Structure 1
Amino acid sequence: MTDTIRLALVGMGKIAHDQHVPAIAGNPAFELVATVSRSPNGVEGVPHFHDIDELAKSDIAVDAVALCTPPQVRHAIAAAALENNWHVFLEKPPGATLAEVAVLEELAAKANVTLFASWHSRYALGVEPAREWLSARKVTSAAITWREDVRQWHPGQAWIWEAGGFGVFDPGINALSIATHIMPQPFFIEQATLDFPANRDAPIAADVAFRTTDGRPVTLDLDWRQEGHQSWDIVVETTDGTLKLAEGGAVLTLPDGSTPHHEEGLHGEYPGLYARFAELVQGGRSDVDIAPLRHVADAFMRGKRREVEDFVE
């Protein structure tokens, strides 16, 4: 492999264009050498392919791929990339099931290449200082509220309502990726209620109750029907006061009113992800944290299904 990581971007939807392309362009460790998508929406001046097999048969030299496809189709693409000995960056969630991610991890180990299950919300400005502050405190409870308007943030994305598309857990897994990172003790689900529109196969809202290993309550309130102000907040009560993370982890407020931030977070979430991916590739390591995905799977296993009115976009 050359010093520069020759990267192909697979799945050219909104997140790829808005976040991945600028982050790749801003990191000298990477060169975008190809895009892959069933749609023609590639990047000007970059070779574009219909699928990953077409890319593999081309004369384009590739070291790594970043997968931004819906989770239901990602496993086969990732497996093909690993079989080509390409390093793989998985957009969140890393897969549609836990089992398929485990298989990818085994394939990456056998091929001696990097597999990176990325969680962009962990790179928000306030997350790392929140983790550091909580590491020395005793948590008494935590409340996570992630409420947004699906029509605003996910317009026309039919796949997200299909089985394996996660529904409201698509943004909700961002909250869980932060919570599993900052909480000083693990937590597990006790009960949940999932609201499914009568005409959809994925939930539009969820109310989940967790408990930490030392018996402290953690609640998760997800809703895609929010109008007006959007809420992406985590409030952690401790014996030393209340920690608040707002705006999806971007704004941290400690009990004394101070708002510390981590300097490394200044470059943004996706630049942080690509810096991490480059570090892993160059160090010959993988990073496959499935804790957020495991909580989502547990919610579907433990949750009561409640049918609500049809969702019509």
Structure 2
Amino acid sequence: MPPINLGLVGFGKIARDQHLPAIAANSGYRLVGIADPHSRLDGVAHHASLKAMLDATPALDAVAICTPTHLRHSQARLALEHGKHVLLEKPPGATLSEVDELSDLAERRQLTLFAAWHSRFAPGVAQARQWLAGREIRAVEIEWKEDARVWHPGQTWIWEPGGMGVFDPGINALSLATEILPRPFFLRSANLAVPSNCQTPIAADLAFSDVQETPIRAAFDFRQTGPQTWDIHVDTEAGRLSLTQGGRRLSIDGRVELEAEEREYPGLYARFAELVAGRTSDVDVAPLRHVADAFLLGRRKRVAAYVE
């Protein structure tokens, strides 16, 4: 099979740090263009917009959209209308309605739409899901705390409507929980801490449960300094499973079962190539639905202004 001619839409931090190395390491792709009004890469054709890239590159097969969330629907729609397969960086849209419309359009056009929950490709995820299958889940604790100043410098859009604030990383935790837990779960209450100069929360405490009333608690915080925390602990009748370091380490009752280097984006691009080959889609909105529920049910408390 010839390589997939791929264009990157948006060339900010996540595209440079994660997408670019994964594409370069996969012989199934050829990076043929970058669409970004402000950023470019030497040796790769530059375009000021997605439309310009589509017009200039008839051989383009697919695009990976890495722009801020509120721009993704119109860009993905334009690409699908031009017959291109689409990978959407997480979250796949600013609203559930946007993602549903894109999914319907991709199906009608027989094109691939991939909601790329990269954390699900962390090394310990598949084994964690397998170990938990069929077990009695007694309680779940999720702790996802990082420093916004380190991971999102200058990204003011994250504090505006659609930017999601602390749910930008928190949705990664939710993408893991919805992947490894054997039953669906539902939000029961949420407390959202919103800086006085922002529209989105800097911290969130969430309480979920499933149909068996299993307590599932999540704490997200963008104010963490020092060591960063990306951990999920699941108590079962057979012991405690801990998926930590964002999914890189899997432990059972403190015994390390698996620990590996991060390879989320290489796995993500391998999956996208499979989907494109079969002209099928993978669009799971469960993590985004939980975030939408938090904004719908959450009690908001104003806290100190955020200053980068």
TM-score by shorter chain over 0.5? yes
Secondary structure, counterpart of 1:176 in structure 2: helix
Secondary structure, counterpart of 2:142 in structure 1: strand
1:240·1:255 contact (CA, 8 Å) conserved in 2?
A: no
Alignment of 1:180-199 (within 5 A): 180-199=178-197
Alignment of 1:194-213 (within 5 A): 194-213=192-211
Call closer, same or farther: CA 1:234–1:59 in 2, change over 3 Å: closer
Secondary structure, counterpart of 1:57 in structure 2: helix
TM-score (norm 2): 0.97
Identity score, percent: 53
| Structure 2 residue corresponding to 1:295, chosen from 287, 290, 295 | 290
2:249·2:256 contact (CA, 8 Å) conserved in 1?
A: no
| Structure 2 residue corresponding to 1:141, chosen from 134, 139, 142 | 139
Match of 1:63 in 2: 61
Which shifted more, 85-94 or 25-34? 25-34
1:198·1:308 contact (CA, 8 Å) conserved in 2?
A: yes
Alignment of 1:145-160 (within 5 A): 145-160=143-158
Counterparts of 1:304 and 1:213, CA distance in 2? 23
Per-residue deviation, residues 234-286 of structure 1 (Å, max 9, x unmatched): 0100011111111111111012714136xxx7671000000000000001110
**In the TM superposition, what is the alpha-carbon distance from 1:60 to its structure 2 partner?**
4.5
Match of 1:26 in 2: 25
2:248·2:261 contact (CA, 8 Å) conserved in 1?
A: no
Structure 1 gap ranges (5+): none
Amino acid at match of 2:281: S
2:145·2:221 contact (CA, 8 Å) conserved in 1?
A: yes
1:33·1:60 contact (CA, 8 Å) conserved in 2?
A: no
Per-residue deviation, residues 121-163 of structure 1 (Å, max 9, x unmatched): 1111111111110013110000000011111111110010010
Match of 1:79 in 2: 77
1:105 aligns with 2:100: no
Secondary structure, counterpart of 1:277 in structure 2: helix
Secondary structure, counterpart of 2:255 in structure 1: coil
TM-score (norm 1): 0.96
Secondary structure, counterpart of 1:165 in structure 2: coil
Secondary structure, counterpart of 1:177 in structure 2: helix
Counterparts of 1:257 and 1:118, CA distance in 2? 30
Counterparts of 1:260 and 1:196, CA distance in 2? 37
Counterparts of 2:74 and 2:6, CA distance in 1? 18
Match of 1:280 in 2: 275
Match of 2:12 in 1: 13
Counterparts of 2:92 and 2:169, CA distance in 1? 13
Structure 2 gap ranges (5+): none
RMSD: 1.3
Which runs of structure 1 show a deviation greater than 4 angstroms over 4 or more consecutive aligned residues? none
